[in-house]
Amino acid sequence: MTLWVRLQPDAFQGPKDVRLKPDPQAMGTQGRSGRIAGPMSLTIALSKGRILDETLPLFAAAGIVPVEDPESSRKLVLPTSSGNVSLMIVRASDVPTYVQWGAADLGVAGKDVLLEHGGLGLYQPVDLGVARCRMSVATRRGYDWTGSVQRGARIRVATKYVAIAREHFAAKGMHVDLIKLYGSMELAPLSGLADAIVDLVSTGNTLKANDLVEVETIMAITARLVVNPAALKLKRDAVKPLVDALTAAAAASRAAA
């Protein structure tokens, strides 16, 4: 059964059609994926790597521990110690899409991924404060970034984060040519493809290793918990305690840092 509802606009988005999974509690049955959904079962989408590593301690504090090691397991849906919660391992940039369409009830995604996705059809109730880094502009060492900007030179910028870069340079009144790349952005200034890149920087070691320097910081980035609005409504008794527990775990982790 598929229900189509028009959600009310919220702080993040305009009205939007969202396809709902059948409510397992009402239906007591099987979701679109074929998984047998128990009463109030919850699926959380997240990606392997830094987000998973840094989110698992917060989940553990909230009583959710995967029964297998997600880094070594080949399973893409992992049961957890909390019987009704399973983790779904997806590509980082796909997390918002799974949650938006209700294939996952919740997810964890970086602010960078959410801004590029647009945040449509998602609540973002908790800044988990993990996978902390920054979005920056970087150039080859020796490139006169300040002079080029002041002269109003036509600058070519390569990035995977086109929406964030466009917004940043438009807000500064700069006209730049954006070149979309999908990886290894550091190569763009080295090869002459672009004058600058917009990329995530954590320790700065990758830039340093490629003789690049950070010339502007665009924004701080952290991972956020995202929730499907329909899941929040229909599975509130399961979702709300989880959101509260993760809010408390994130606050405790910040206080201890």
**Interface of this chain with ligand AMP, residues 206 to 245, rule: CB under 6 A:** 206
Q: Using the rule CB under 6 A, give the single segment among 61-69, 149-157, 201-209, 231-239 that binds ligand AMP.
A: 201-209
* Structure-token pair, residue 5: 């509802």
Verify binding: residue 201, ligand AMP, rule CB under 6 A: yes
Distance CA(100)–CA(81), nearest Å, equals 26
Verify binding: residue 202, ligand AMP, rule CB under 6 A: yes
Backbone φ and ψ of 175, nearest 5°: -100, 115
Distance CA(166)–CA(131), nearest Å, equals 23
Verify binding: residue 191, ligand AMP, rule CB under 6 A: no
Q: What is residue 35's DSSP assignment?
A: P
Verify binding: residue 205, ligand AMP, rule CB under 6 A: yes
Verify binding: residue 203, ligand AMP, rule CB under 6 A: yes
Verify binding: residue 165, ligand AMP, rule CB under 6 A: no
Q: In 32-119, where does DSSP find H-type helix? A: 50-61, 95-100, 111-117
Q: Least CB distance from residue 221 to ligand AMP, whole Å?
A: 6
SS3 152: coil
Distance CA(231)–CA(20), nearest Å, equals 8
Could you identify the residue written with the tokens 């008794």?
A: 237
Nearer to ligand AMP, 47 or 228 (CB): 47
Nearer to ligand AMP, 23 or 199 (CB): 199
174: β partners: none
Q: Using the rule CB under 6 A, give the single segment among 9-17, 79-87, 198-206, 247-255 that binds ligand AMP.
A: 198-206
CA torsion 208→214→219→222, rounded to 10°? 0
Nearer to ligand AMP, 82 or 93 (CB): 93
Backbone φ and ψ of 193, nearest 5°: -65, -40
Verify binding: residue 131, ligand AMP, rule CB under 6 A: yes
Q: Least CB distance from residue 133 to ligand AMP, whole Å?
A: 4
Nearer to ligand AMP, 23 or 54 (CB): 54
The amino acid at residue 234 is: L
Q: Using the rule CB under 6 A, give the single segment among 15-23, 26-34, 80-88, 197-205 that binds ligand AMP.
A: 197-205
Interface positions with ligand AMP (CB under 6 A): 50, 110, 131, 133, 199-206
